[in-house]
Amino acid sequence: MPEKAEFCHCRTCRKINGSAHGASASVLSEGFRVIYGKDFVVEYESSPGKTRCFCLVCGTHVYAFTESQPDYIILRLGCLEGGHGIVPEEHIWVSHKEPWYKIPEGLILHDEW
């Protein structure tokens, strides 16, 4: 299970997801592994110290990792099969939120990370 899950409104997550925000969960890297299709995962260092991993076939952004937090994998919730039970509990980078998107009440809001 993840350590936490959130909706991210940063410019990069919005672009990668083509949406108002991204939905991701932080999972311990020691318990994470790709069990099928590893040869189809390509890595791209999108900014210094942050590597994003994509499906070579369809382009889906599956997960990411950073040098600053090597114990964690940032798993993109939209690429998981249903029924996983992971529910984001907060919104991050709200200071970058698109003005046309209204955040529903009830979750924790952070202007930045």
Residue with tokens 């990668």: 16
In this prediction, residue 47 carries a pLDDT of: 86
Distances (CA, A) of 51 to 32, 70, 88: 16, 11, 22
Domain positions in the chain are 4-109
In this prediction, residue 54 carries a pLDDT of: 93
Query: 0.85 cut: is pTM over it?
Result: no
In this prediction, residue 109 carries a pLDDT of: 93
Q: Strand 41-47 vs strand 4-8: parallel, antiparallel, or unpaired? A: unpaired
4-109 CATH: 2.170.150.70
5-57 pLDDT per residue, tens: 999 999 888 888 889 999 999 999 998 888 888 999 999 998 899 999 999 99
- Of 26, 38, 113, whose CA–CA distance to 65 is shortest? 26
